Structure 1
Amino acid sequence: MDISENEFRDFLFKNHNENFPSIIIGRREPVSWHGDSFPPIHILLQQRAEKKINETLDNLEDLTLTAKELRLTREADSTTRADLVGNSESAGLTIVELKKSKQTERQAFSELLAYSNHFCTVFPGLKESSLTSILVAPMETRTIRDAYAQELVSNNKCIISLIPKYENETAQLSVYYPDPSYYKWFENNLLDDRSIITVALAFQEIEGWIDLETGQEGMPKHSAKALNTLTSAISNMLEACGYHSMCYSTQPWGEIAAGLNQPFPNVIYVAAINPFSSFRTEISENGISGNSLEGRLAEIQAIHDQLSESEREFWVETMEGNFHNRLIRLVRNEFKKLLKNKEQEEIKFEISLPDWYGIKTSVIESVTVNHGDLYLTGLLREIHSEYMEYVYRPDVDYAIYYSDDIPKYFYRSLRKFLPIWEILSGLGVGDSDSENQDE
């Protein structure tokens, strides 16, 4: 590109401040799946991300660029400036940061995220997901490609990347779509049973508020309402803290409860993805290994080798344990807060750490209990939603296989235990074929 970054920025502002989308090329339809079964998770993640990219492109149609080199800090700091800032009814506040070289695109990406955060500080209540961020860069650096995919898929940011080209006084911006291998990376590293940790909080019966079943009618309505309120609140807290999790409650069947005489019959389960799982990353004799891609292990090895010698041996193990311990604290503290009462009565409870695969496959845990609603956060919520889209598709009769558990209307599948469990219980180890993928 035979033009400087400043000249290119000025060219865009002067010539395309009201028709910015007119120079964007390379848009394509999201990946689709034509198999006879549910699509693999990596296809769902790719489809979701590419839909989001295209929706963002659509929202730029009425974008107007309103400023260039917008200073975002104190007057004394003249170096922090956003290249271009715009606004539109559909995209809202839009920030454009551009770099034309491989050497500077990492800086541009960091600055773009910082600018979004700055606007959220200036306008309290604004979230970064409500902003539109546009990175104009060559996308030649793997670090940037990885970071962009992370923001798009895992952090759910409203962000797109455009690759610039300038010839004969004409500009083009090509849409960048992450390579399909990124989505397989997310699938393999996040959704294996051995990467999921579980916290089970069991607590006493609270007479008149959370009672057990006494006949064969199932969980009492007032108990179900109370338990669903608790799990919903805990789930909202986990969403705010950035966890990809599921949360639900159980009570034993009436006859079983009477026979066992359990002191803590109510159980709230929280299962969450632990990104530091030793299944995927472990250290042995200063070497990083695990069931993961070689490139990822090499990157972690490079970080490990730079740590102080005293911290290296148990580095990953410590992060894995800290993540689990933080989850325990969050669940415990939220539960105690929710069950504060005017009489200052202490609700007795205990916490255990069961194996997630054992819960999925246990008849006692899955069949001989009454279930409350199931609440999902993060990627697990998105994956379930995408799966249910397939269940209700008019052209594919997937529902016939799940007719007993799938409700008539989509909204009824968002919280009810059985339709969600039908999907989530099947997640685990998998290296699904993508030969039915249509790009």
Structure 2
Amino acid sequence: MAITEKEIQLYIWGLKDQWVNLIQPVKFPEPNYFNEEEYDIYSLNPRQAFLNSAYNRLTELDQYVRSSDLIGCEVHLKKDFDSTIRADLLCCSEGTGGFGIIEIKKSAQTERQAYTELLGYGNHIHGLFPGMSTEDLVYILISPMQERIVREATLLSLLKDEKPVYCLIPKWQNNDINTLILEPWIPEENDISQLSNAMFHPSNIDIFKYSWDYVEGWNYKAPDKNPRQFMLDTVNKLSIYAAQLMESKHISGFVYVSQPWEELPLLPNSLVIAGINPYKVSKLLKLIKNKGIDIYRSENIDTSGIKLKDILPEIDNVHNKSTEDYLEDFSTSWINTLQGISIETFKTMTINSENITYETDHGSMTWDQYQKLALEDVFVHNYDVRPTGLLRVLFQAYQEIDYKYLTKFGYENHSTHSHGDISNYGIDNWYNISFFRDFLDRLYDELHNFRFDINDA
């Protein structure tokens, strides 16, 4: 008779004082800084940079799990008037002050439900202890990790949602529970394809620009002067607030304030918010897989033929035979999220004791289109940029790799910093709009040169 999930649960609980001994030794791959040889930096691509971040995170979580104690088995979590949910095991690690929720799935069929249940338990714990941070609750999945959707969900939780998720693969011999061991799961490059393939194509980055009239202390009237530092410090606070809103909504993008040259007949202040449109990404990925199109060698990419049922085929069943498609609506209306952040930021930052109001205007387009408009993006002062979500994670990973390389080889043969115009400390680059734009161009160029199997998309 096959071993059941219940048997695995009770066996681990029975060893609660030594359960971590079941976890096999592991050494997660060392981050690749692309500096073994002087020209290795040219092979850097977003997949590898994301893997660096994932390996670093999993190494930290591995240390947590190996120092944890089991404190509960079959823990029923119930609120008044709610149905009862059950956590297989609970643990805690000395010194962290937080819980670990352990969910056990023994087969590929049942592991698809793992995150639904884990997040349900997590939400309940967060409700019992309001104000918990993401670091106060670790999600531990004991599962075969055979389903791609589970592996991708783990990586998305680690990198995009920045949740601490750690996975162990249960193995045994001859249906003997006493031979049970737990092997830490190590993600591979193909597991992260959804985070990199086609995601950073410029056509996927939507822009919403919100503009408003002259504000005392924010703008110069004289055309021959550049903004003073106190003005920059003031307007940069708008992008700080907008970035906080974007992070709270898990939007991958960036934001900055822009002011046109004084002599131009334009509203003198603008908040430029950019976000990666998830519906455009999904359509592009499907186009690559279905048609084999190399998007990095195609000038005009038409994704209008991709429908919701192509992305989510399960929606087309006997109960739902509607001919209406919603994917294009999702894609075009997603910009409303950026618009909402712009309006909230503007209202919050311009509220005043004199009830002064300001003329406003707005517009939207793709990042690629925006950069080709001289009045919008050339004859302007662009101030501090704030990356968010996956672009922040990736920007940080690239910066770490670059500085490791520069320390070892200098800048002469670096793929993008051969000009030598790079600050000694990362803090001077982090909010620099020119440096960040170079990073975005570099993502696109590296993906252009990095060939991947369309079946991985």
* TM-score normalised by L of structure 1: 0.86
Shift of 1:239: 0.8
CA distance in 2, matches of 1:55, 1:243: 25
Structure 1 249/404 Cα, relative in aligned 2: closer, same or farther at 3 Å? farther
Shift of 1:411: 1.9
Cα contact 2:256–2:271 (8 A) shared by 1: yes
Return the structure number with greater relative CO, CA threshold 8 A, min gap 6: 2
Indicate the RMSD between aligned Cα atoms, in angstroms: 3.0
CA distance in 1, matches of 2:241, 2:141: 36
The residue number in structure 2 matching 1:202 is 211
The residue number in structure 1 matching 2:60 is 55
Shift of 1:364: 5.2
The residue number in structure 2 matching 1:80 is 85
The residue number in structure 1 matching 2:388 is 377
The residue number in structure 2 matching 1:328 is 339
1:419 paired to 2:399 = no
CA distance in 2, matches of 1:405, 1:369: 22
The residue number in structure 2 matching 1:111 is 117
Shift of 1:337: 2.5
Structure 1 8/299 Cα, relative in aligned 2: closer, same or farther at 3 Å? farther
The percent of aligned pairs where both chains have the same amino acid is 25
1:433 paired to 2:450 = yes
The residue number in structure 2 matching 1:99 is 105
The residue number in structure 2 matching 1:163 is 169
Cα contact 1:195–1:274 (8 A) shared by 2: yes
Cα contact 1:211–1:220 (8 A) shared by 2: no
1:266 paired to 2:269 = yes
CA distance in 2, matches of 1:114, 1:403: 51
Where 1:197 maps in the other structure, the secondary structure is strand
Shift of 1:78: 8.6
* TM-score normalised by L of structure 2: 0.83
Give matches, 1:358-377, under 5 Å.
Answer: 358-361=369-372, 365-377=376-388
Shift of 1:289: 5.6
Where 2:28 maps in the other structure, the secondary structure is coil
Structure 1 269/292 Cα, relative in aligned 2: closer, same or farther at 3 Å? farther
Q: 2:287 aligns with which of 278, 287, 290?
A: 290
Structure 1 75/339 Cα, relative in aligned 2: closer, same or farther at 3 Å? closer
The residue number in structure 2 matching 1:28 is 28
Cα contact 1:38–1:387 (8 A) shared by 2: no
The residue number in structure 2 matching 1:179 is 188
- Which string of whole-angstrom CA distances, capped at 9 and with x for unpartnered residues, describes residues 298-328 of structure 1? 8615134248444x44311111122112221
1:5 paired to 2:5 = yes
CA distance in 1, matches of 2:348, 2:83: 46
1:247 paired to 2:252 = no
CA distance in 1, matches of 2:134, 2:207: 30
Cα contact 2:45–2:443 (8 A) shared by 1: no
- Which string of whole-angstrom CA distances, capped at 9 and with x for unpartnered residues, describes residues 46-91 of structure 1? 2211221122102223211111111111599896221111111248
The residue number in structure 1 matching 2:408 is 395
CA distance in 2, matches of 1:366, 1:419: 15
Cα contact 2:76–2:85 (8 A) shared by 1: yes
Where 1:43 maps in the other structure, the secondary structure is helix
Structure 1 342/74 Cα, relative in aligned 2: closer, same or farther at 3 Å? closer
The residue number in structure 2 matching 1:285 is none
Cα contact 1:250–1:267 (8 A) shared by 2: yes
Structure 1 52/82 Cα, relative in aligned 2: closer, same or farther at 3 Å? same
Where 2:251 maps in the other structure, the secondary structure is coil
The residue number in structure 1 matching 2:222 is 214
Cα contact 1:25–1:173 (8 A) shared by 2: no
Matched residue pairs, number? 422
CA distance in 2, matches of 1:175, 1:361: 48
Structure 1: segments with no counterpart, 5+ residues: 283-287
Give matches, 1:184-195, under 5 Å.
Answer: 184-195=193-204
Does 313-322 or 294-303 show the bigger shift?
294-303
Where 1:60 maps in the other structure, the secondary structure is helix
Amino acid at match of 2:260: P
